A and B are shown apart, each in its own frame.
Chain A
């Protein structure tokens, strides 16, 4: 367990629900914080009678939703301006980015919903959904459902596995890494196949 994570656990023990809310809020916004692990640990503390499980869930749920919505609205309002200030305005008009934006708008609900369960991807999807002007009601609905599931699972792991939560979390983190890499690999192979098929169709038949 690293020192930073230990400090977060101490913060949860001292500031309780305020700490859970702030950690999940900033984790959902953009910071790389172990939000699910903190919720799992907090639900274990609630088993010991130190915290209230309902309030742990509520703080995590609200923190997640508000953090994700803040990221979405900030990107919606200032995303393109920020990109142009950074000199990256041109990159937003690249065909691949435009294509990704169109696809994200078409499958916004499922993309946002699935990304809630992959902590690393979630803030990125919020930013791109904001820039792509995904409809607010769709984003909010997917966000609420996703956050409910994500926080619920994290709480359930803490409750079911009790003081074994640290072992389960380690395994879950490894499983998430394997899952993301497998997705990346599949995407790479599909992309390669698509490019190959495009090249074949462009070749003049002799």
Chain B
């Protein structure tokens, strides 16, 4: 025969069950959210490996040839990117953006687009647009020069 449980024990049990229910609820919401994100990314092709990893194992493969997958473009610029990073990944002459955008800041090229916007009293989006148009201008002029 079991003894009747005291009211305080009942309260503790209720609290534990409530805690488990809360954790279960949060877990369900998180799992559902993760599944939704996964489906969306998978549909958009965002989860596809960008790099054929198995080719690393081939000793005859030229490793360097595989490295950059998608070259960055003017459309993929972000405010956190520095001018040094842009110059090197977009293959721009080191002074091109400095002279085109009339950047006076002595930190150039170790200067982010966001910092450039702040020091030039510009809106971040406006600064980003200026950099994007300067990059586009360079890209179009360099492709025109190609035979």
- Does any Cβ of A come within 8 Å of B37's Cβ? yes
A175 vs B41: C-alpha distance in the bound complex, in angstroms? 14
Size band of the interface chain B makes with A: 35 or more
A47 vs B110: C-alpha distance in the bound complex, in angstroms? 20
A171 with B88: CB separation less than 8 A: no
Indicate with 1 or 0, residue by residue over B24-45, a CB within 8 angstroms of chain A CB atoms.
1011001101100110010000
Q: Which residues of A, 38-58, contact B by the 8 Å Cβ criterion?
A: 45, 47-50
Listed by A's residue number, 25 A-B pairs whose Cβ atoms lie within 8 Å are A1-B80, A6-B78, A6-B79, A7-B80, A13-B80, A14-B82, A14-B84, A45-B85, A47-B69, A48-B72, A48-B88, A49-B89, A161-B50, A161-B51, A162-B51, A162-B69, A163-B70, A164-B47, A164-B49, A168-B47, A171-B47, A178-B27, A181-B26, A185-B20, A206-B1
Of all chain B residues, the one with the shortest Cβ separation from A47 is B67
Q: Count residues on chain A whose CB falls below 8 Å from chain B CBs.
A: 35
Q: Which residues of A, 157-186, contact B by the 8 Å Cβ criterion?
A: 159-164, 167-168, 170-171, 174-175, 177-178, 181-182, 184-185
Q: Which residues of A, 1-26, contact B by the 8 Å Cβ criterion?
A: 1, 6-7, 9-10, 13-14
B110 with A14: CB separation less than 8 A: yes
- Does any Cβ of A come within 8 Å of B68's Cβ? yes
B30 with A174: CB separation less than 8 A: yes
- Does any Cβ of B come within 8 Å of A203's Cβ? yes
Question: Taking the nearest CB of chain A, how far is it from the CB of B90, in angstroms?
Answer: 10
A167 with B20: CB separation less than 8 A: no
- Does any Cβ of A come within 8 Å of B3's Cβ? yes
Of all chain B residues, the one with the shortest Cβ separation from A14 is B110
A161 with B49: CB separation less than 8 A: yes
B82 with A13: CB separation less than 8 A: yes
A171 with B38: CB separation less than 8 A: yes
